[in-house]
Structure 1
Amino acid sequence: MKETKQMSTDQILLDGQEYVMNTYGRLPMALVKGQGTRVWDSDGKAYLDFVTGLAVTSLGHSHPEVVEAIKEQAEQIIHSSNLYWIPNQVRLAELLAENSFADKVFFCNSGAEANEGAIKLARKYAKLNFGNHKTEIVSLKNSFHGRTLATLTATGQTKYQNYYDPLPPGFSYAELNNSEELDSAVTENTAALIIEPIQGEGGVYPVTQEFIQKAREICDQKGVLLIFDEVQCGVGRTGKLFAHEWFGVTPDIMSVAKALANGVPIGAVLATDKASCFQPGDHASTFGGNFLTTAAACKVMEIMTAEGFLQGVRKKAGYFRDKLQGLADKYGLTEEVRGLGFILGLPVGKIGPDIVRSCSVKGLLINCVGGETLRFLPPLTVSYEEIDEAISLLDQAFGENPAE
């Protein structure tokens, strides 16, 4: 077997095409090292990383405190089973509860698993409290909640559902920021409503204050649990620990994942005491909340909740947004920058993929959602100088790829 560290980029690409399932439209590069905001490929070329593993490495690559926490834990014990208490897991649950609306936490390994757990929890709660008829989950059109069959069905984009029917029954959809349609969609059979405060994969569309408040009112009036999917927009990404804090509305259940352990796989379901109705045997995850991932996540939470950290994120994000909007104005783009904090989208039309490719050649990694919206997810630790550098490279890319 070839040693990866000795393989050329061409060899990695050839072997990848032969042995790895073709599920991603990958750029022709292989990343081998990361430090802070920068990553290096197997040819030694450096890039500014404004994708961060899709909002995962929010404290930057190889953050020294997180690395040290992982190393220390790996030397002690990495995994046991949830048949026994795991001290780091208990501490992480405490940190999440102390810094959120929640009373209880369940740990798993990904955002899709967290949303799956949230759906199961909501359905059990509804049946226990209202009867077996109350099973339906209402989500939003253009949403994205995961790739399992249940979360794929909750995802309000048919392009992700092709070939996977029959899909599980019990799901319906309403339009984002359409309160009247939402009210009609939530019926006596609805168990829960699941909302992303910012639709990331759908194009970086935030909820409006009016809509999210109305969602909370509808759920309270109709005996429905409100779930917030903060897998991408949570854990500091918006400049607050959780995105819903911007709107002053709290859910009954929330899913988080991506940034929680800065790259070590983790997911979590947070819930109020009212909604926390799981009992032993109802739900489980072999690797969920193990020693290693919770050690990393505890350190992430300690850093993000430290005094002044999120305030600094908000200031830098405001600076970045203004610079992005300046570019949009310079090149005559008709739509404004969307999003909150460091989850920002810039609609550019059909040149989106060309801009992504041009930026990668110049040393800036970004991505495009929906084929027409550039999405920016820099690390929360990015410097003002790195923001300026990214804007300069993006400016050059726009100059080479004029909008139609």
Structure 2
Amino acid sequence: MTDTTTDTTTRDWRERQADDLMASYAPALRLLVRGEGCWVWDDEGTAYLDFLGGIAVNSLGHAHPVVVAAASSQAATLVHVSNYFTTPSQLELAERLKRITGAGEGGRVYFGNSGAEANEAAFKLARRNGGRTRILALKNAFHGRTMGALALTGKPALQQAFEPMVPGVEHLDSTVEALEVAMRDDVAALIVEPIKGETGVVPLPEGYLAAARRLTERHGALLIVDEIQTGVGRTGAWFDYQHAGIVPDAVTIAKGIAGGVPLSALVTFGRASSLFQRGDHGSTFGGNPFSTTVANAVLEEIETRDLLGNAARRGPQIRDAVLGMGSSLVTEVRGRGLLLGIGVVEGAAQPIADAALERGLIVNAINSTSIRIAPPLIVGDAEIAEFADRFGAALAAC
């Protein structure tokens, strides 16, 4: 019999990635082996200050005691049941989400596993709106890579290899004027990111969400807000649409909801809550007791420790630190709370991110002129001082 076992200790992790993992990602930057708080360590023992937070996922940082305790306890009790049953943690989380979103008693919750899945559910919800098929989305927005979510994503370069797209989606400029022209009584839904994360952390124009709410109500369309990246306290409120004082028809949630454990949700408001009928949608793993228990623990910690307030306070502190560096490479700082985009001169983003990593700081060059930062909501003075030192050194090196 042939021995097919491979001694992984004899192969470099980069070679193993190239041989064994799909080539849909760029080569990994480091091999990370553990984390604590706002820090992670690689296989060589080097520490890195994590100011990306797993791309806005690790709400409480790494190995937070609340997450560890909830995960350990639930894993020893009940990890998964089919959707023929419910569990106390699933019911608790649904009630909690209805409260913090503002959906209230008329709200309903659907659980999935990822942001793309939540947006797929939202797409199907829109198709249930009176038989209408026109869906409006925005240019340069990002809603996911599965086929429905990709059709919503206003980035032609991501779509071209997989055309034809799911039909019925129209992409608009992010202006109230463009929305007024496109909005008619045959529109099923408008889906928007309040801050375009994958475009470089670019907020919608002031007043856009209020106008979108007014126009969708007038024409019977659903207003769906994609809070995959902006939600769960990241911008200093539970959800970014709350800064605008509006109530949507549906909101999609993922990333930070369970502190790193895969989970997503679609929360509906009012009349949108009656659109899905039995059998319209489903998920094998969505809302299982393990993920919902951890999510309840994460959301409870955010609420009781005032991490919404922390995000609101720390964002301006980081903004001031970056602008105070006086670097000619930095053009602006965009965003809200702990989702910030540092605008830099053309072509500088990747060299700056690379220089930061060499100095033990994780940030993200999201395009040639934008660096994204999304540190854990627990970030404090000490971590911000370290960030300023290391990011300042990276700017100086470029």
Question: Fold-level match, TM-score > 0.5?
Answer: yes
| 1:338 lines up with 2:342 in the alignment | no
Aligned pairs, number: 389
Asked whether the equivalents of residues 334 and 341 of structure 2 are also in contact (C-alpha less than 8 Å), the reply is yes
Asked whether the equivalents of residues 307 and 377 of structure 2 are also in contact (C-alpha less than 8 Å), the reply is no
- Deviation at residue 38 of structure 1 after TM alignment: 0.2
Q: Measured at CA, do residues 283 and 3 of structure 1 come closer, stay the same or move farther in structure 2, by a change above 3 Å? A: farther
After TM superposition, the structure 1 stretch with the greater mean CA deviation from structure 2, 392-401 or 283-292, is 392-401
- Deviation at residue 308 of structure 1 after TM alignment: 3.0
Letter in 2 for 1:51: L
Corresponding residue for residue 46 of structure 1 = 47
Tell me, what secondary structure is at the counterpart of 1:305? helix
Corresponding residue for residue 234 of structure 2 = 237
1:11-48 per-residue CA deviation (whole Å, 9 max, x = no partner) reads: 11111100101111234311110100000011111100
Corresponding residue for residue 104 of structure 1 = 108
Superposition TM-score, scaled by structure 2 size: 0.95
Asked whether the equivalents of residues 236 and 338 of structure 2 are also in contact (C-alpha less than 8 Å), the reply is yes
Whole-angstrom CA distance in 2 between matches of 1:333 and 1:11? 36
Asked whether the equivalents of residues 112 and 147 of structure 1 are also in contact (C-alpha less than 8 Å), the reply is yes
Corresponding residue for residue 140 of structure 2 = 142
Corresponding residue for residue 322 of structure 1 = 320
Tell me, what secondary structure is at the counterpart of 1:310? helix
Whole-angstrom CA distance in 2 between matches of 1:209 and 1:351? 28
Whole-angstrom CA distance in 2 between matches of 1:138 and 1:192? 6
Letter in 2 for 1:290: N
After TM superposition, the structure 1 stretch with the greater mean CA deviation from structure 2, 312-321 or 11-20, is 312-321
Asked whether the equivalents of residues 329 and 348 of structure 2 are also in contact (C-alpha less than 8 Å), the reply is no
- Deviation at residue 87 of structure 1 after TM alignment: 1.4
Corresponding residue for residue 295 of structure 1 = 293
- Deviation at residue 333 of structure 1 after TM alignment: 4.4
Asked whether the equivalents of residues 264 and 296 of structure 1 are also in contact (C-alpha less than 8 Å), the reply is yes
Tell me, what secondary structure is at the counterpart of 2:230? coil
After TM superposition, the structure 1 stretch with the greater mean CA deviation from structure 2, 296-305 or 316-325, is 316-325
Whole-angstrom CA distance in 2 between matches of 1:248 and 1:33? 40
1:204-263 per-residue CA deviation (whole Å, 9 max, x = no partner) reads: 111233211111111011110000000001001111111111111121000000000000
Q: Measured at CA, do residues 88 and 162 of structure 1 come closer, stay the same or move farther in structure 2, by a change above 3 Å? A: same
Corresponding residue for residue 161 of structure 2 = 163
| 1:214 lines up with 2:215 in the alignment | no
Corresponding residue for residue 74 of structure 1 = 75
Corresponding residue for residue 12 of structure 2 = 11
Whole-angstrom CA distance in 2 between matches of 1:3 and 1:231? 40
Corresponding residue for residue 258 of structure 1 = 255
- Deviation at residue 173 of structure 1 after TM alignment: 1.1
Corresponding residue for residue 361 of structure 1 = 358
Whole-angstrom CA distance in 2 between matches of 1:265 and 1:247? 28
Whole-angstrom CA distance in 1 between matches of 2:34 and 2:149? 32
| 1:84 lines up with 2:85 in the alignment | yes
1:324-370 per-residue CA deviation (whole Å, 9 max, x = no partner) reads: 2223xx11246320000000001112011111111111100000112
Whole-angstrom CA distance in 2 between matches of 1:92 and 1:304? 14
| 1:247 lines up with 2:244 in the alignment | yes
Moved over 4 A (4+): 1-4
Letter in 2 for 1:80: V
Letter in 1 for 2:307: F
Corresponding residue for residue 308 of structure 2 = 310
Corresponding residue for residue 393 of structure 2 = 396
Whole-angstrom CA distance in 2 between matches of 1:27 and 1:117? 31
After TM superposition, the structure 1 stretch with the greater mean CA deviation from structure 2, 332-341 or 102-111, is 332-341
- Deviation at residue 91 of structure 1 after TM alignment: 0.4
Partner residue of 1:225 out of 222, 227, 237: 222
Asked whether the equivalents of residues 234 and 308 of structure 2 are also in contact (C-alpha less than 8 Å), the reply is no
Superposition TM-score, scaled by structure 1 size: 0.93
Ranges in structure 1 where 5+ consecutive residues have no aligned partner: none
Asked whether the equivalents of residues 189 and 224 of structure 2 are also in contact (C-alpha less than 8 Å), the reply is yes
Asked whether the equivalents of residues 207 and 244 of structure 2 are also in contact (C-alpha less than 8 Å), the reply is no
Corresponding residue for residue 118 of structure 1 = 122
Letter in 2 for 1:173: H
Q: Measured at CA, do residues 3 and 211 of structure 1 come closer, stay the same or move farther in structure 2, by a change above 3 Å? A: farther
Whole-angstrom CA distance in 1 between matches of 2:16 and 2:277? 46
Whole-angstrom CA distance in 1 between matches of 2:69 and 2:29? 32
Whole-angstrom CA distance in 2 between matches of 1:313 and 1:386? 13
Whole-angstrom CA distance in 1 between matches of 2:375 and 2:7? 31
Asked whether the equivalents of residues 38 and 47 of structure 1 are also in contact (C-alpha less than 8 Å), the reply is yes
Tell me, what secondary structure is at the counterpart of 1:201? helix
Whole-angstrom CA distance in 2 between matches of 1:307 and 1:290? 26
